[in-house]
Every structure is written in C-alpha cells, then in structure tokens.
Amino acid sequence: MERLQKVIANSGYTSRRKAEELIQSGKVKVNGVTIYELGTKVNTTDLIEIDGNILQKEEQKVYFLLYKPRGVVTTTNDDKNRKTVVDLIDTQMRIYPVGRLDYDTTGILLLTNDGVLANALMHPKNNIDKVYIAKVKGLVGKEQINQLQNGVIIDNIKSSRAQARIKKYDKKTNTSIVELTIHEGKNHQVKKMFEAIGYPVLKLKRERISFLDLTGLKSGEYRMLSPKEVKKLYFEISKEK
Ligand code: URA
C-alpha cells in the first residue's frame, strides 16, 4: 500500500505537492469515491481518477543491490519453501533477481522490476563484467589460466573469452584462489568452467558486476542503487564494445 499522493506523483502525472492539492480540492477519486484525506493508502489494483480521467499508473522502477548470503535461493518463490533472495528485501514492489547465484554461492546480486535493464545486463553481447572469486581444489597453473581465458567446453559449447588470474595458492591445503571475469551467465557457468579444466570449485563468491561491488555491505545486507548508478548501468549496456 502506498500513499495516494505518492502514487499520483510516481505515475508522472504531477509533483507530489500538486497531487496533494488535487486531493484536497476534491478532484481525486479512488474506486469511484472522492478522497480528501492526504494519508489515504491505495494499492496497485485501485482505480484512481483525477478530474474524471483514469490515472495510468506506470510502475516506478526500483533497483536493489544485495550481498547474497549462502543458503538462499535465487528465485522469487521456492517450491521447497526455502528462503529466497526476494525474502531478504523489504519492499512492496514485485522485484526479481538479475541472473542467478547458486544456493551455496555468495556475493553481489541485483534485483529490480526493470526488465529492460535486467535483460541487457544478462545478455553476453553487452559484455558486462561479472567478477567471481573461486576457491578451487588443486594448484592452478599458467596453462589452466590460459585455458579459462580462451574458453573451455561446457555442455558442448565453448565458453567465450574470459579473464582469469591466480590470486593465491595454498600448497598445504592444495587449493587455489582464482579471480575469473566472464560476460556470460549460463547455469553453474563458473563451476562448470573449473570442472572442465579439472579443478572443482569449493567456494564461490561474485565480487563485482560492471562497476558495482559490495563495498559497505555485510552478507545479507542490501541497498538501493542511486539514480546516478542506474544511469551509469544504462550507459554501460549501450556502450559499443
Ligand atoms: N557460476 C556458478 O557456477 N555458480 C554461480 O552461482 C554463479 C556463476
């Protein structure tokens, strides 16, 4: 439920202050009843009329950046009743995740009701960086890094070019930490890429999407994107690459 004047303003019809004036002067009806009360709350199915004209409500676009914790599913609702990423965000808006992080993967995830931006961020042709940090079993060598960069076969298709670099080795535990930057987002893509070169992923975190990272957030926390950040994302998807 939202305040009537806010819904009118969000539709782009007029400013919030003018919407308040319209309500107070008896020009606004909700479901056929004239409303004078400024605090009146309405929901998305209510019919709003101003001066006898039906208000076309354009849904306000919202953008959230979540630090996804482990043990949460990336869907809007889960048939096994597990906690979803949408459950972590306090909003009345119908938002959905941009792409997918596995149940056991942590890190940056965007959620929005802006389908245009969501699709463009996911489309490989737009070359949006998705930067992952993977802890893998085994000591990754230069040769494997080259393989990851040039593309490996997963599900019978070669992955497109990527950037990879070794961040750390641990000879004692026989593990490596590798940073992998990809532009695709197939199901379990990173895990499958490492599997293809014989290094199973033990732990996975997504650290960055384009210029957005997790600065200032703890696992499970989220924030809204600023209008400037949204504008910058639109710029990133429209760039010739
Ligand atoms: N690739 C994976 O394998 N898992 C994720 O969660 C994200 C990318």
Provide the greatest CA pair distance for the chain: 76
- Tell me, what's the pLDDT at 27? 97
User: In this predicted structure, what is the pLDDT of residue 175?
Assistant: 98
Indicate if 102 belongs to the active site: yes
- Please report, rounded to a whole number, the percentage of residues in the chain having pLDDT higher than 90: 84
Indicate the pLDDT class of residue 241, thresholds 50, 70 and 90: low
Number of the ligand 1 atom closest to the C-alpha atom of 188: 3
Query: Which atom of ligand 1 is found nearest the CA of 130?
Result: 8
Closest CA to 224 of 107, 95, 129: 95
Choosing from 148, 186, 188, 202 the residue with most ligand 1 atoms within 8 A of its CB, the one to mutate for a pocket test is: 188
Tell me the per-residue pLDDT of 66-84, one tens digit each, with 9 for 90 and over.
999 999 999 988 889 999 9
Catalytic residue among 102, 104, 114, 213: 102
Alpha helices in the chain (DSSP H): 4-10, 16-24, 115-122, 142-150, 189-196, 227-238
Confidence of residue 240 (pLDDT cuts 50, 70, 90): low
Mutate-to-test residue for ligand 1 from 98, 102, 133, 187, highest number of ligand atoms within 8 A of CB: 102
Which residues line ligand 1 at a C-beta cut-off of 6 Å?
101-102, 105, 188-191, 204
| pTM of this structure | 0.80
Q: How far is the CA of 106 from the centre of ligand 1 (A)?
A: 9
The helix-helix angle for 227-238 and 115-122 (nearest 10°) equals 50
Residue type at 226 in one-letter notation: S
Query: For residue 118, how far is its CA from the centre of ligand 1 (angstroms)?
Result: 17
Ligand 1 atom at minimum distance from 74 CA: 6
- Name the one residue in this structure whose structure tokens are 């463009």: 120
- Classify each residue of 169-194 as buried b or exposed e, where b means 16 or more C-beta atoms within 10 Å of its C-beta: beeeeebbbbbbbbbbbeeebbbbbb
151-202 per-position pLDDT tens digit: 999 999 999 999 999 999 999 999 999 999 999 989 999 999 999 999 999 9
Q: What is the enclosing helix (H) or strand (E) of 99?
A: none
